[in-house]
């Protein structure tokens, strides 16, 4: 067995005279091509042609899909949107960080025109959101927190203490009792991460 080398979908791997096409590959015009992104694997049996197959790298497979609930951390906010880093898809931690954007109009389901980003999120908040599209050239995922279950799940007050949700739009610092506005998630048990 040779060491695995990464390949992309559609990549020409070798000619059909050198090897036999295995799983994750297809043949065209006498050549073997990769049909998916993954790692190239060559297995030789006795004196026969080696079998070339492409195996998916289980780590690279996990991507935020449209409709997936993701856990993200707010990096920056402005009047139009919040920029976030996606950390988990469902309950699975991601190996690499993906960037996401929560636009002002996707924060709440009602009274969208009255939403203010800084009253919904603050940098370093942990937010549950749903992927609504795979974004643009900057590879930003567009996210929404318009459902009741979505929104801020963990936020720290200015005193550095984890705040407690007291309503769907406010959290309170247990130490200083100051209240801060947030788009609070009504977290369902399956999304709670310890």
Model pLDDT for residues 23-53, shown as the tens digit of each residue? 889 999 999 998 877 788 888 877 788 999 8
HEC-encoded secondary structure of the chain: CCCCEEECCCCEEEECCCCEECCCEEEECCEEEECCCEEEEEECCCCCCCEEEEECCHHHHCCCCCCCEEEEEEEEECCCEEEEEEEEECCEEEEEEEEEEEEHHHCCCCCHHHCCHHHCCCCCCEEEEEEEECCCCCCCEEEECCCCCCEEEECECCCCCECEEEECCEEECCCCCCEEECCECCCCHHHCCC
Starting at the earlier edge strand, list the strands of the sheet with 170-172. 164-167, 170-172, 179-181
Please give the model's pTM, rounded to 2 decimal places: 0.65
Decide whether 5-55 matches 68-150 in CATH topology: yes
The mean per-residue pLDDT over the stretch 47-72 comes to 79
The mean per-residue pLDDT over the stretch 83-94 comes to 88
Q: Which residues touch 97 (CB under 8 Å, ≥6 apart)?
A: 85, 86, 87
Q: Which CATH number fits domain 68-150: 2.60.40.1180, 2.40.50.140, 3.30.465.10, 2.130.10.10?
A: 2.40.50.140
The mean per-residue pLDDT over the stretch 154-169 comes to 92
CA angle 65, 68, 73 (to 5 degrees): 100
Structural domain boundaries of the chain?
5-55, 68-150
pLDDT at position 194 is 39
The mean per-residue pLDDT over the stretch 84-111 comes to 88
- Sign of the Cα pseudo-torsion (60, 64, 69, 74, in order): positive
pLDDT at position 181 is 95
Q: What is the CATH number of domain 5-55?
A: 2.40.50.100
């Amino acid at each position: 067995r040779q060491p695995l080398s990464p390949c992309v979908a559609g990549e020409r791997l070798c000619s059909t005279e050198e090897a036999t096409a295995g799983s994750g590959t297809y043949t065209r015009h006498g050549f073997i091509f990769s049909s998916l992104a993954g790692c190239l694997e060559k297995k030789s049996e006795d004196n026969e042609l080696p079998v070339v197959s492409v195996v998916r790298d289980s780590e690279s497979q996990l991507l935020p899909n449209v409709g997936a609930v993701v856990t993200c951390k707010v990096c920056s906010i402005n009047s139009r949107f919040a920029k976030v880093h996606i950390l988990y898809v469902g309950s699975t931690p991601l190996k690499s960080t993906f960037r996401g954007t929560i636009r002002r109009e996707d924060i709440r389901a009602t009274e969208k025109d009255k939403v203010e980003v800084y009253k919904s999120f603050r940098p370093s908040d942990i937010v549950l959101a749903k992927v609504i599209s795979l974004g643009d050239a900057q590879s930003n995922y567009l996210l929404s927190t318009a459902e009741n279950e979505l929104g801020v799940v963990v936020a720290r007050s200015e005193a550095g203490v984890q705040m407690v949700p007291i309503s769907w739009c406010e959290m309170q610092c247990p130490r200083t009792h100051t209240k801060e506005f947030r788009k609070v998630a009504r977290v369902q048990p399956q999304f709670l991460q310890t």
